[in-house]
């Protein structure tokens, strides 16, 4: 009877459940009608712009048909009868795959994001309007040499053909059509990239405050480079009684990269480009062929310039030079020019903004120690966006590449280049002339010519390494500011120097190396301070020296280093806040003074009240263990967010890539922390790209199978797998009159 009752009751139970569900849905719709409407609009935008094989496409200004074949990896291989047609086709494919990303970058650089984003973008627009990048881009465009002007004009033709053919889903969702692309927009894109790599106002402000607040030997000891490297004998006298822990900003992610060349059967080049993470990728893979050349590599969307790759005759890679390209100079009241700009804001009245400059140099809103200063930055010079770097695509050997770079200015970069016989590492970019040995406070006098920039050519061992460290000689001119302390570079050199043979598999394995030598001194300090039998001591003694996801000790060491830096260094720089209330110590080279103080084992150098150096370290270890030892993979989870999720966080599940545990940290060769790391990796010979890894896919459309298809390979530290390019979508780009 019970079973019968249950069976008879079941349909009614089902109906009740359905009714309850319907009521719940109805209630949700009633309470969230605005969000539901937005969700529907997003889904409609995605559906109406769903990727498909486009068939033949008209691209105005093409001189002949161009074959475009999108392979199974999402990369479109372009085969054209001449270089400019190949670039037009690149503009089309990049506009098709990343159209919104292109528009987002130019709107950001021009301070026009609020026009489509609304008032949430006003802080970003305010920053970029005050920078004046749009005016700098116009001035640089007027001075472009003919080869670069023709290149950008061809690229512009292609992007506009893509915009005419399909509106990006993000633009559909935001209910606007992107304006036609212009040559000037690519120049602006290059300035946005330059700004992200070289705008070091925070470091310059901190240095100025420290030199004002501290005696010169003490300031030199704490500032990057360390002066003589010796600890001032009276350092303890300059330690304050206390210091807020937010005075120290350790491990700030600064765009960097690893690049090295090593000899093998033929020379090999590996390059990891360290940039901010997101979807779509901040890099785009290029594959162009025209008679006599096949150009492959990674480019920044909006620029038809391969930053790292090969043309079949040479291969090259880049890292951030971390160049000293900004000066803060006093701004006399009579020199100030103030204008009012209007920022259009979607759905609201326009916002007005006062912009103050001295000539082209912006005057930051925040004063420096109570005085107005102007930020004299090389990016405001028209030569800073000359884009002559693109001529590497046509170089036939290392000598020709050096000649190209000697005549180029543009973004300040380390460039490593090789042909089949020779190798070179050069500094390029518009670099201020700062003679070695002159005071750091002295302003630059003009700019270096190409041959004056430092370089290393044909080293005896055939190995070149750049990891944002001071690899290039600065005997004649000083070019760097707050250079990377060199932990990644030393590890790369050690591995390359001891290898019996260099091959592509070994280069790929080194790109994923997670040896964390920086943390060894902190492990040793902690072990010596803890008592035998202490579980924390046992945990740290057994650490394998890596930033592996399964390591519990490494997370403790990361936290310990952070605590020690804040507690030990803050009292010495606390006086700086008396001169500048917003002061923070932002420099990367803080382990040197920190370990020098800790190594002295002098309680007078440690925070007030310290009576036992080991006890102080042990207390810091206990603080690091307060939440228990967690596996590094739990602490270092990395995901990728689409820009639209800042407006619609609920869309992250559709547009983003969920966080996963990742090995590595800022100071390992495999650089990976939340929001920042290897935005692209390549291993190349002169002839070809052996492998390319991207954190997401080529396409910027979530319904494309190439939106996130490359993430798993990027995230894996497994052995090098041969790159297999399967068949994909083939189509032809035709001149408008060719029907």
Contact in structure between 571 and 608 (CB atoms under 8 Å): yes
Identify whether residues 495 and 402 lie together within a single domain: yes
Return the number of other C-beta atoms located less than 10 Å from residue 347's C-beta.
Answer: 7
Say yes or no: 490 and 420 in one domain.
Answer: yes
In a domain, 71, yes or no: yes
d(CA 720, CA 508): 6
For 226-260, how does the pLDDT look when each residue is reduced to its tens digit (9 = 90+)? 766 689 999 999 999 888 888 998 887 677 899 99
How many CB atoms within 10 Å of residue 503? 16
Query: Which of 611, 634, 657 is at the close of a domain?
Result: 634
Lowest pLDDT segment from 482-486, 674-678, 717-721? 717-721
Cα–Cα distance between 345 and 112 in angstroms, integer?
A: 9
For residue 228, the model assigns a pLDDT of 64
Name the domain count of the chain.
4
Residues 310 and 270 in one domain: yes
What is the rounded average pLDDT of the residues 520-542? 97
Residue 468, domain member (yes or no): yes
What pLDDT does 34 receive?
A: 57
For the segment 598-617, the average pLDDT, to the nearest whole number, is: 96
Could you tell me if 466 and 520 lie in one domain? no
447 with 415, same domain: the answer is yes
Segment 266-284 mean pLDDT? 95
Final residue of a domain: which of 634, 667, 694?
634
Judgement on whether residues 563 and 541 belong to the same structural domain of the protein: yes
395 and 266, same domain (yes or no) = yes
The answer to whether residue 427 is domain-embedded is yes
| 331 in the same domain as 304 | no
**Domain boundary at 511, 545, 572, which?**
511
CATH number of the domain to which 345 belongs: 2.30.120
Confidence of residue 728 (pLDDT cuts 50, 70, 90): confident
pLDDT in tens, 367-400: 999 999 999 999 999 999 999 999 999 999 999 9
Judging by DSSP bridges, how do beta strands 258-262 and 455-457 pair with one another?
Answer: unpaired
Q: What distance in Å separates the CA atoms of residue 71 and residue 574, rounded to the nearest whole number?
A: 57
Q: Are 580 and 201 in contact (CB under 8 A)?
A: no
Residue 108 vs residue 225, higher pLDDT: 108
Q: What is the pLDDT of residue 33?
A: 55
In a domain, 448, yes or no: yes
- 327 bridge partner residues: 376
More confident residue, 88 or 501: 88
Answer whether residue 737 is part of any domain: no
570 and 627 both lie in a single domain = yes
Structure tokens at 229: 């490297």
**Residue the block writes with tokens 């420099």:** 587
Contacts (Cβ under 8 Å, ≥6 apart) of 487: 517, 518, 667, 668
Confidence of residue 19 (pLDDT cuts 50, 70, 90): very low
369 & 395 share domain: no
CB burial readout 549-579, b (16+ within 10 A) else e: bebbbbbbbbbbbbbbbbbbbbbbbbbbbeb
Domain assignment present for 397: yes
Q: How confident is the model at residue 519 (pLDDT cuts 50, 70, 90)?
A: very high
- Report if residue 50 sits inside a domain: no
**Residue 648 — pLDDT band, cuts 50, 70, 90?**
confident
Q: Using an 8 Å Cβ cutoff, are 141 and 183 in contact? A: yes
- The CATH number covering residue 471 comes to 3.60.20.10
Statement to judge: residues 557 and 626 lie in one domain: yes
| Structure token digits, residue 465 | 């390494």
What is the domain range of residue 280? Answer: 258-324+384-511
Instruction: Identify the weakest region by mean pLDDT among 11-15, 125-129, 705-709.
Output: 11-15
Return the minimum-mean-pLDDT range out of 25-29, 92-96, 466-470, 617-621.
Answer: 25-29
Percent of the chain with pLDDT over 90: 82
Q: What is the CATH number of the domain that holds 531?
A: 1.10.1400
Query: What is the rounded average pLDDT for all residues in the chain?
Result: 92
Query: What is the average pLDDT across 515-525?
Result: 98
pLDDT of residue 739: 46
Which CATH number covers residue 135?
1.10.439.10
244 in a domain, yes or no? no
Domain shared by 281 and 425, yes or no? yes
Cα separation, 93 vs 597, in Å, equals: 55
The single-letter DSSP state of residue 645 is: G
């Amino acid at each position: 009877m019970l079973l019968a009752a249950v069976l008879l009751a079941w349909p009614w139970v089902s109906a009740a459940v359905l009714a309850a569900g319907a009521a719940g849905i109805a209630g949700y719709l009633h309470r969230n009608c605005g969000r539901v409407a937005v969700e529907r609009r997003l889904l409609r935008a995605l559906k109406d712009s769903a990727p498909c094989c486009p068939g033949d496409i008209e691209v105005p200004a093409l001189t002949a048909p161009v074959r475009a074949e999108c392979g199974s990896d999402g990369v479109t291989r372009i085969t054209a009868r001449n270089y400019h047609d190949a670039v037009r086709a690149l503009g089309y494919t990049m506009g098709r795959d990343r159209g919104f990303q292109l528009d987002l970058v130019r709107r950001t650089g021009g301070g026009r994001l609020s026009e489509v984003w609304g008032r949430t973008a006003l802080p970003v627009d305010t920053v970029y309007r005050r920078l004046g990048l749009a005016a700098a881009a116009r001035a640089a465009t007027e001075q472009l040499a003919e080869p670069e002007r023709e290149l950008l004009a061809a690229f512009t033709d292609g992007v506009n053909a893509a915009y005419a053919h399909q509106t990006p889903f993000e633009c559909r969702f935001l209910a606007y059509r992107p304006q036609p692309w212009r040559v000037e927009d690519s120049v602006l894109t290059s300035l946005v990239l330059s700004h992200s790599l070289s705008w070091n106002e925070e470091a310059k402000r901190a240095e100025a405050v420290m030199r004002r607040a501290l005696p010169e030997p003490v300031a030199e000891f704490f500032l990057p480079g360390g002066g003589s490297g010796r600890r001032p004998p009276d350092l303890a006298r300059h330690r304050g009684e206390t210091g807020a822990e937010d005075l120290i900003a350790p491990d700030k992610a600064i765009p960097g990269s690893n690049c090295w060349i090593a000899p093998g059967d033929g020379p090999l080049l590996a390059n990891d480009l360290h940039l901010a993470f997101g979807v779509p990728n901040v890099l785009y893979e290029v594959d162009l062929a025209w008679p006599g050349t096949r150009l492959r590599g990674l480019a920044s969307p909006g620029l038809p310039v391969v930053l790292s790759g090969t043309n079949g005759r040479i291969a090259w890679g880049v890292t951030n030079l971390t160049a000293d390209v900004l000066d803060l100079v006093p701004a006399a009241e009579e020199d100030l020019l103030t204008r009012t700009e209007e920022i259009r804001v979607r759905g609201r009245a326009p916002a007005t903004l006062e912009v103050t400059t001295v000539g082209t140099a912006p005057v930051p809103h925040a004063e420096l120690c109570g005085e107005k200063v102007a930020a004299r930055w090389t990016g405001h010079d028209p030569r800073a966006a000359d884009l002559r770097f693109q001529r590497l695509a046509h170089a036939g050997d290392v000598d020709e590449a050096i000649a190209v770079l000697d005549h180029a200015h543009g973004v300040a970069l380390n460039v490593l280049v090789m042909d089949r016989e020779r190798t070179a590492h050069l500094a390029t970019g518009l670099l201020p002339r700062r003679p070695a040995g002159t005071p750091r406070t002295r302003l630059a006098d003009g700019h270096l010519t190409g041959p004056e920039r430092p370089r290393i050519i044909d080293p005896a061992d055939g190995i070149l390494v750049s990891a944002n460290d001071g690899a290039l000689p600065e005997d004649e001119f000083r070019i760097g500011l707050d250079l990377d302390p060199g932990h990644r570079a030393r590890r790369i050199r050690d591995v390359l120097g001891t290898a019996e043979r260099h091959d592509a598999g070994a280069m790929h394995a080194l790109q994923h190396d997670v040896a964390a030598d920086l943390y060894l001194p902190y492990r040793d300090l902690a072990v010596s301070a803890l008592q035998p039998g202490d579980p924390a001591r046992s945990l740290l003694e057994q650490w394998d020296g890596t930033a592996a996801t399964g390591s519990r000790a490494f997370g403790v060491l990361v936290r310990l280093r952070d605590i020690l830096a804040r507690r030990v260094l803050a009292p010495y720089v606390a006086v700086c806040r008396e001169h500048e209330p917003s002061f923070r110590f932002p420099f990367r080279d803080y382990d040197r003074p920190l370990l020098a103080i800790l190594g002295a084992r002098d309680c007078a150098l440690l925070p007030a009240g310290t009576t036992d150096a080991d006890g102080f370290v042990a207390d810091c270890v206990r603080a690091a263990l307060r939440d228990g030892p967690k596996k590094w993979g739990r602490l270092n989870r990395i995901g990728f967010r689409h820009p639209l999720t800042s407006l619609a966080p609920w869309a992250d599940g559709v547009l983003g890539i969920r966080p996963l545990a990742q090995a590595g940290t800022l100071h390992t060769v495999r650089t990976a922390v939340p929001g920042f790391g290897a935005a692209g990796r390549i291993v190349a010979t002169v002839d070809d790209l052996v492998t390319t890894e991207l954190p997401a896919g080529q396409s910027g459309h979530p319904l494309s199978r190439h939106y996130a298809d490359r993430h798993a390979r990027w995230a894996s530290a497994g052995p090098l797998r041969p790159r297999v390019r399967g068949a994909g979508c083939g189509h032809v780009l035709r001149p408008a009159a060719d029907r």
